[in-house]
Amino acid sequence: ACPLRWPPEWSVKEKIMKAEKNKVVTFHYTLKNAEGEQMESSREGDPMAYLHGTNSIIVGLEKAMEGREAGEEFSVTVQPEEAYGVRNDNNVQRIPLKRLKGIGKVQVGQILNLQTNKGQVQVTVLKVGRFNVDVDGNHPLAGHELTFDVEVMEIRDATEEEVTHGHAHGPGGHQHD
Ligand code: ZN
C-alpha cells in the first residue's frame, strides 16, 4: 500500500484565522470624511493592532471587521452614531481667558487640554474674544460620516495577558510604561 496520503494532513487542518473574539487584528486604514477628504492614515507608520470584541476601535469599524481574514481589503462607511457620536451643542462653552494662563496666545482652531472637574478634556478653540474664549468639547470627528479603507494585515490569537488586559500588546497596540 502506498504510505503517502494526499493531501497531507497539515494542509487540511490549517485553519484560516478570522477576526473574532480573542483575536488580535492588525490593519492599515485610511480615513476619509463624507467629502472624500483624507483625515487620517495609518500608512505613515505602523499598522494598528486591536483586540477584537473589546470596543477598542469605533463600533461601526469593528462590526465591519467581523469575520475578515488577513489580506482582505474593504471599505466601510460609518454613520456618526457608530463612529464618534453626534455633535452636542451643550459642549460648546465660553470660558474666561484668564483660566488659560500659561498656555500663551490662543488661536482659532487650536486644540487645548483643559483640566475640569471631570478630568482632562480636549477642546477646539472656536472664537477668541478679549476676555473670553469659545471652545468646543465635541470630538473633532463628532457628527461626521466616516469612510474607512481597510487592509487586514494579520490576525493572530490573543495571549492570555492580552485577554486579561482587554487590549492588544506590541507594535500598533497598547504600550505599557
Ligand atoms: Zn496590557
CA–centroid distance, 171 to ligand 1, in Å, is: 12
3-class secondary-structure state, position 72: coil
Using pLDDT thresholds of 50, 70 and 90, give the confidence band for residue 3.
low
Residues with CB under 5 A from ligand 1 (ion): 165, 174
Using pLDDT thresholds of 50, 70 and 90, give the confidence band for residue 116.
confident
* pLDDT tens column, 7-19: 666 665 567 899 9
Taking the C-alpha atoms of residue 156 and residue 23, their distance in angstroms, rounded to an integer, is 6
Q: Which residues touch 59 (CB under 8 Å, ≥6 apart)?
A: 78, 82, 83
Helices (H) and strands (E) in the chain, counts: 3, 9
Q: Nearest to residue 141, comparing CAs of 88, 80, 78, 82?
A: 80
One-letter amino acid at 78 equals: V
Using pLDDT thresholds of 50, 70 and 90, give the confidence band for residue 105.
confident
| pLDDT attached to residue 12 | 55
Taking the C-alpha atoms of residue 94 and residue 125, their distance in angstroms, rounded to an integer, is 10
| pLDDT attached to residue 99 | 86
DSSP assignment letter at 84: T
Q: Which residues touch 71 (CB under 8 Å, ≥6 apart)?
A: 152
CA–centroid distance, 155 to ligand 1, in Å, is: 18
Task: With a cut of 80, say whether residue 108 has pLDDT above it.
Answer: yes
Other beta carbons less than 10 A from residue 32's beta carbon? 19
CA–centroid distance, 173 to ligand 1, in Å, is: 9
CA–centroid distance, 162 to ligand 1, in Å, is: 6
CA–centroid distance, 10 to ligand 1, in Å, is: 33
* pLDDT tens column, 146-174: 999 999 999 999 999 999 999 999 988 99
Using pLDDT thresholds of 50, 70 and 90, give the confidence band for residue 119.
confident
CA–centroid distance, 167 to ligand 1, in Å, is: 6
Residue bearing cell 497539515: 10
One-letter amino acid at 133 equals: V
**Which one is predicted more confidently, 2 or 105?**
105
CA–centroid distance, 41 to ligand 1, in Å, is: 24
DSSP assignment letter at 52: T
CB 103 within 8 A of CB 112: yes
CA–centroid distance, 159 to ligand 1, in Å, is: 10
CA–centroid distance, 51 to ligand 1, in Å, is: 11
CA–centroid distance, 165 to ligand 1, in Å, is: 5
- pTM: predicted TM-score of the whole model, two decimal places: 0.77
* pLDDT tens column, 89-103: 999 999 999 888 878
CA–centroid distance, 127 to ligand 1, in Å, is: 40
CA–centroid distance, 120 to ligand 1, in Å, is: 22
